[in-house]
Amino acid sequence: MSRGPSLQLNGTGRLRHFLTIDGLNRELLTEILDTAEGFAGVSERTVKKVPLCRGKIVANLFFENSTRTRTTFELAGKRLSADVLNLNITASSTSKGETLLDTLRNLEAMHVDMFVVRHAVSGAAHFIARHAAPGVGVINAGDGRHAHPTQAILDMFTIRRHKGEFTGLRVAIVGDILHSRVARSQILALNTLGVSEVRVIAPRTLLPVEARSLGVHIYHDMDEGIRDVDVVIMLRLQKERMQGAMLPSEHEYYRLFGLTEARLAAADSEAIVMHPGPINRGVEMASEVADGSRSVILQQVSYGIAVRMAVISIIIGTQNQQGQDNKG
């Protein structure tokens, strides 16, 4: 399946869909971060709205349930003054690829401007973007194990807010790399933005075989991997992965890889702790760490709205421009 940059960028290199970090250069990632910076203030105003996308229709096209992610996109759309349509599509109604396309064509015919797609199958958002009509943007809100690019961007935004610059940073990503749709996006973004070192800390059973090719340093020992890092990104442990003997037990996982105050002491004294949520307290990390002074986990949630506003408004801008070029 082609996932080249040409699908998400138009002829002049502008973002028309947002599917993956793959193929986006530092300038484009920085533009998204800078745009989000402008929106971060909107959420803190008394009137939390800007009229940028008034009259636009953003459809949340969720093929798997995720109230949390859907809510952040709904709020982002509403703060841009767009109308937001929530469509939960059961797997049964779209068992044939043909039917998915018919659903898409119908929504396009209703003049929906943007689809925010969540799907259990890797590549689903790419498939929809490839078949979307001109003028319609697609955002990947998580496709299988593949990518969750707005989560990766909000992580970058959080790091930049706290650390100022990416150069010189050491960042550790800890946990279930194998099943994470976030980890791959994060590694790509961190390397593109120029951090000096990305470390991956995971048990052997939760590390994909291609890990070494991603430009990371691999650790299987938590205490060793966390030493002197500036940023610790904890991944969520999907409890359903425990079956199949990939992991001995939650207790054992916590003993080996759980982030405690004691372990965190080995990191840089100014290190920040991140997690995409929801946290399994006592599994991925101790409550003291989750609620402690180093934790920026709730700021990630706040910044997530600003980042999604940035991505939606940039794409709507590109698509509007495209529409006018087509007319002119």
Phi first, then psi: what are they for 218, rounded to 5°? -105, 135
Residue 284 to residue 179: CA distance in whole angstroms: 15
Which CB atom, from 57 or from 211, has the smaller least distance to a copy of itself? 57
| DSSP class of 19 | -
The answer to whether 103 touches 55, Cβ cutoff 8 Å, is: no
Binding segment for a copy of itself (CB under 8 A), chosen from 159-167, 191-199, 227-235, 272-280, is 272-280
Element (H, E) at 173: strand 170-174
Nearest distance from C-beta of residue 99 to a copy of itself, angstroms: 7
Name the residue among 231, 230, 226 with its Cα closest to residue 201: 226
The yes or no reply on residue 67 touching a copy of itself (CB under 8 A) is yes
Q: Whats the size of the chain, residue-wise? A: 328
Which CB atom, from 86 or from 122, has the smaller least distance to a copy of itself? 86
Is 319 annotated to bind a ligand? Reply is no
Which CB atom, from 5 or from 277, has the smaller least distance to a copy of itself? 277
Q: x/- contact string, 42-61, with a copy of itself (CB under 8 A)?
A: -xxxxxxx----xxxx----
The answer to whether 81 touches 51, Cβ cutoff 8 Å, is: yes
Name the residue among 305, 235, 263 with its Cα closest to residue 70: 305
The yes or no reply on residue 302 touching a copy of itself (CB under 8 A) is yes
Nearest distance from C-beta of residue 223 to a copy of itself, angstroms: 27
- Chain positions 149 to 188 lying near a copy of itself, rule: CB under 8 A, are none
Please enumerate in sequence order all residues whose Cβ is within 8 A of that of 133, keeping only pairs 6 or more positions apart, or say none.
108
Is 164 annotated to bind a ligand? Reply is no
The yes or no reply on residue 71 touching a copy of itself (CB under 8 A) is yes
Nearest distance from C-beta of residue 103 to a copy of itself, angstroms: 8
Residue 253 to residue 256: CA distance in whole angstroms: 5
Residue 91 to residue 245: CA distance in whole angstroms: 28
Which CB atom, from 107 or from 152, has the smaller least distance to a copy of itself? 107
The yes or no reply on residue 66 touching a copy of itself (CB under 8 A) is no
The yes or no reply on residue 284 touching a copy of itself (CB under 8 A) is no
Q: Please report, as a single letter, which amino acid is at residue 140.
A: N
Binding segment for a copy of itself (CB under 8 A), chosen from 18-26, 78-86, 141-149, 204-212, is 78-86
Nearest distance from C-beta of residue 252 to a copy of itself, angstroms: 21
Is 3 annotated to bind a ligand? Reply is no
Is 68 annotated to bind a ligand? Reply is yes
Is 236 annotated to bind a ligand? Reply is yes
Is 70 annotated to bind a ligand? Reply is no
Half-sphere exposure (Cβ direction) of 160: Cα atoms closer than 13 Å? 20
Q: At 137, list the tokens.
A: 């943007």
| DSSP class of 92 | G
The yes or no reply on residue 320 touching a copy of itself (CB under 8 A) is yes
Is 105 annotated to bind a ligand? Reply is no
The yes or no reply on residue 239 touching a copy of itself (CB under 8 A) is no
Residue 24 to residue 232: CA distance in whole angstroms: 24
Binding segment for a copy of itself (CB under 8 A), chosen from 171-179, 228-236, 250-258, 297-305, is 297-305
The yes or no reply on residue 26 touching a copy of itself (CB under 8 A) is no
How far from 35 is each of 17, 29, 78, 150, CA to CA, in Å?
A: 16, 10, 17, 13
Name the residue among 171, 157, 186 with its Cα closest to residue 303: 157
| DSSP class of 227 | T
Interface residue list for a copy of itself (CB under 8 A): 43-49, 54-57, 67-68, 71-72, 74-75, 78, 83, 85, 87, 98-99, 102, 105-111, 277-279, 281, 287, 298-302, 304-305, 320, 323
Binding-site residue numbers are 68-69, 96, 118, 148, 151, 181, 236, 277-278
Binding-site residue numbers for carbamoyl phosphate are 68-69, 118, 148, 151, 277-278
